[in-house]
Structure 1
């Protein structure tokens, strides 16, 4: 039973996905801080208000997370293509809620950057508050999974040793389309890939993660309290545009697809951002 955050008739709603239909839940307006594991399981459906997926605007599946914690260098091939040593502790950085866009929204190319890159990623959504969560109890805190494209402005990422400026641009990171519950997907070796047009640019699977999901949850919760609706992006495989020969960056008019098998697919058009002076 996947779930979605969406807008219909000017109202924010949460719905269970049933084929082509969304069946709204009685009191939820979005997936996030209020959707603990228990709250989502207890929410009542309103079948009479069901709408077609094609008739709504899908929001980022978690529209306003308290925290978005991202992991860099978490696939062996990606570490290899960067020329770095294998990390012994997760490389972590953050994004903001303002970075997120919906699963079919346009990815905007800011005029300031000429190196806009793609990164297919599995995203973990937290469903139970926790601090210093033990490895063996980490999955007890997972609400579900979704897909992210960790769009990165490489020329800004490498202006300094801190990656923030390249990773947290407003309206840059698609997240969705749906939240898939843990018991509905096998992530032992789920394919993660990126396709630009008809060319496969990234292809790996989650068995190649350096730090697995429980390790990431334990590491992050060691220094900050994880809350329902928080999102952890688990890292991208090798094949990013910045490390290709020749380099490959997103251009106006491109269509980019990232997907995680069993979790979902994001397909977004790329277009140049129109900026008004002042």
Structure 2
């Protein structure tokens, strides 16, 4: 199942993507007089399999032609998109997790996952503009697969790790390299406002299958910059979840950005580095997860 967040009257609302279009979960539930269905993405995540079944029931029962006033079918092209996970308790990121990316940046292959974090201010949605901060001249793109936790996980084995995952989505781990490299701590360059677009969809784990066998790419103004497969990860998704859970508890709704493949601007020779500029359109496409697109704008 594919879920999404759209914004209406300033409020986040849950959408269900179907072959017939996007359903407003709250409105179709009201039209069908069903009260046991999740109405937010976090209710869906916390409800797990039961919640997914309830949402699938809504999709199956939704009439193609709604009654007058029951406008529960939405035109995807007209949506104001929100982050597909709206309030993660933790935003955890894994650095240098693709072998060829580590090689292009001339970094040693890490012995353990390199972890850092972003904050909620970095979240934004598909088709939303991202402000290039005035304090940076070196904003870079990073296409990434995101793990969305569905169950509490503490000290889980690698074999059991993925059973705690609700689903997956796309992210662009935007990075202000000049700020990131200012000190040994990467945080400053990683969590500027809007630097973690997520979406367009949150796709349930059963629909994705093996998360470490997905094509992944990034384009800037239509030009392919990154083209790889999640199989190139140094630490695969099950290893990442297990490793993190041995050090602190993961909760439903927590998200993990799993690293980016080769092709980032930082990996180019210095004389060929052209960082993101106003007007650039960046798209992150991952197999089975759709395409996340954002336009860069200068800070006013």
Q: Structure 1 15/33 Cα, relative in aligned 2: closer, same or farther at 3 Å?
A: closer
- Are positions 1:139 and 2:141 aligned together? no
- Are positions 1:30 and 2:54 aligned together? no
* Aligned residue number for residue 40 of structure 1: 51
Counting only pairs closer than 5 Å after superposition, residues 1-80 of structure 1 correspond to structure 2 as: 1-19=1-19, 21-26=21-26, 28-32=38-42, 35-36=45-46, 37-44=48-55, 45=58, 47=62, 48=70, 49-80=72-103
Q: Contact 1:194 / 1:200 at 8 angstroms: preserved in 2?
A: yes
Q: TM-score, normalised by structure 2?
A: 0.86
- Are positions 1:230 and 2:241 aligned together? no
* Aligned residue number for residue 30 of structure 2: none
CA distances 1:39-88 after superposition (whole Å, capped 9, x unpaired): 53253538352322223211100011000100001111111012121111
- Are positions 1:263 and 2:289 aligned together? yes
Greater percentage in helix: 2
* Aligned residue number for residue 193 of structure 1: 217
Determine the C-alpha separation between the residues in 2 that align with 1:11 and 1:176.
17
CA distances 1:81-119 after superposition (whole Å, capped 9, x unpaired): 121211111000001111111111011101000000000
Q: Which moved more, 1:27-36 or 1:73-82?
A: 27-36
Q: TM-score, normalised by structure 1?
A: 0.93
Q: Contact 1:118 / 1:240 at 8 angstroms: preserved in 2?
A: yes
- Are positions 1:120 and 2:143 aligned together? yes
Larger Rg: 2
Q: Contact 1:196 / 1:255 at 8 angstroms: preserved in 2?
A: yes
Q: How many residues align?
A: 274
Counting only pairs closer than 5 Å after superposition, residues 145-224 of structure 1 correspond to structure 2 as: 145-186=168-209, 187-224=211-248
Counting only pairs closer than 5 Å after superposition, residues 93-104 of structure 1 correspond to structure 2 as: 93-104=116-127
Q: Contact 1:96 / 1:168 at 8 angstroms: preserved in 2?
A: yes
Q: Which runs of 4+ in 1 moved over 6 A?
A: none
Determine the C-alpha separation between the residues in 1 that align with 2:216 and 2:256.
16
RMSD: 1.7
CA distances 1:207-265 after superposition (whole Å, capped 9, x unpaired): 11110001000111111111111100010001111221311210001111111111121
Q: Contact 2:95 / 2:113 at 8 angstroms: preserved in 1?
A: yes
Structure 1 residues without counterparts, runs of 5 or longer: none
Structure 2 residues without counterparts, runs of 5 or longer: 27-36, 63-69
